[in-house]
Amino acid sequence: MLIRLHAQATTTPKIRAAIQASEEPAWVLAERYGTTEQTIYKWRHRETVEDRSHTPHHLQTTLTPAQEAVAVALRTTLLLSLDDLLAVVREFLNPHASRSGLDRCLRRHGVGNLRDLNAKAPQPKHKSFKAYEPGYLHVDVKYLPQMADETSRRYLFVAIDRATRWVFVRIYPAKTAANARRFLRDLERACPMRIRTVLTDNGKEFTDRLFGLRKRAATGEHEFDKLCAALDIEHRLTPPKSPQTNGMVERFNGRIEEVLQSHHFRSGEELEATLHRYVWLYNQQLPQSALGSKTPLQAMKGWHKLKPELFSKRPYYLTGCDT
């Protein structure tokens, strides 16, 4: 039988059995086995050779069960700190209560951490995006870090389809209306779906809706709006100061930020190649839980089979960043 010995035990089960069987004086056995006479007497009065549990069998507390119940109720109701609760307990319940004993009492009853007892403010639930057919794209711009071989920072234009999560990106040296128009033109040419709606924020590269601190209706004379009209695309704008409305592309930008933080780039060319590679993997290799564990390309092919009229061309293994 396997016997677990105490870490500081000076005798073995064999020696303990010999002590119990011997009739020699205790001092003789103590000298023989290199232990104390008290140890010899201890094992002579036991019937087994196993160590007993060193766990205390009685709680070292001055609080009665009723007093502990009152202390726990005060803790959960008034959310008192340990020192404040100790003062109340000593004043009204037990003047001999110790701080450590009260702390052990609270831990035994699962109320030792005051932060866990504070009522947390309910987090607003994120509403799921309304189901749309392919052709509704979210568009945004993300700043890119300036590389050592660059004289200024560049900007990542991102578009993501709401139904298929298909992503298209371009990198431009400036966040201008001309580059926004250029991005939309490239997007329309590369996208297999017929783009019906584009959702953007109120940046100057997308709209003239905001003028200074005043809000006004878009004039329709903005370069981006003109191209949308020419391509028969509805241009929708998010409410001012409401980035959650465009949350789908914001989440993808968060993925891009993780890529930027986890890599060390030596040049702007290396950064651009990495981002293009990631978009390729995202579209073709990374299953999305929102798509039923399908990749964006698989979802796009499924929609094409179901409703081919929504597409301008058959979806192939498009990377989302083809030139």
Domain ranges of the chain: 13-44, 65-114, 136-310
Which spans in 22-125 are helix H? 26-33, 37-44, 65-78, 82-92, 99-108, 114-117
Average pLDDT score over residue span 73-83: 89
Written as six digits, the tokens of 226 are 């003109």
Tell me the mean pLDDT in the region 156-168. 94
Which of the residue ranges 19-28, 267-276, 308-317 would you say has the lowest mean pLDDT?
Answer: 308-317
Over the chain, what is the mean pLDDT? 86
pLDDT (0 to 100) of residue 121: 47
Predicted confidence at residue 233, as pLDDT, reads 94
Residues, the chain? 323
Q: Is the predicted pLDDT of residue 4 greater than 90, yes or no?
A: no
Whether 48 has a pLDDT exceeding 90, the answer reads: no
pLDDT confidence band for 115 (50 / 70 / 90): confident
Predicted local distance difference test score (pLDDT) of residue 263: 85
Residues 138, 199: Cα–Cα separation, whole Å: 5
Q: What per-residue confidence (pLDDT) applies to 243?
A: 74
Supply the pLDDT for residue 165: 93
Confidence of residue 323 (pLDDT cuts 50, 70, 90): very low
Supply φ then ψ for residue 160, to 5 degrees: -135, 135
When mean pLDDT is compared across 65-74, 130-139, 166-175, 274-283, the lowest value belongs to 130-139
Which of residues 212 and 112 earns the better pLDDT score? Answer: 112
Judge whether 187 and 195 are in contact, CB under 8 Å: yes
Q: Quick one: which H or E segment has residue 252? A: helix 247-262
Q: Is the pLDDT of residue 216 over 70?
A: yes
3-state secondary structure of 106: helix
Provide mean pLDDT across the span 233-241: 88
For residues 59 and 285, which has the higher predicted lDDT (pLDDT)? 285
Report residue 158: phi and psi, to 5°. -130, 135
Q: How far is CA 215 from the centre of its chain?
A: 36
Cα(212)–Cα(200) distance, integer angstroms: 18
Name the CATH superfamily for 136-310.
Ribonuclease H-like superfamily/Ribonuclease H (3.30.420.10)
Among the residue ranges 56-60, 82-86, 240-244, 305-309, the one predicted with the least confidence is 56-60
Residue 237 has pLDDT above 50, yes or no: yes
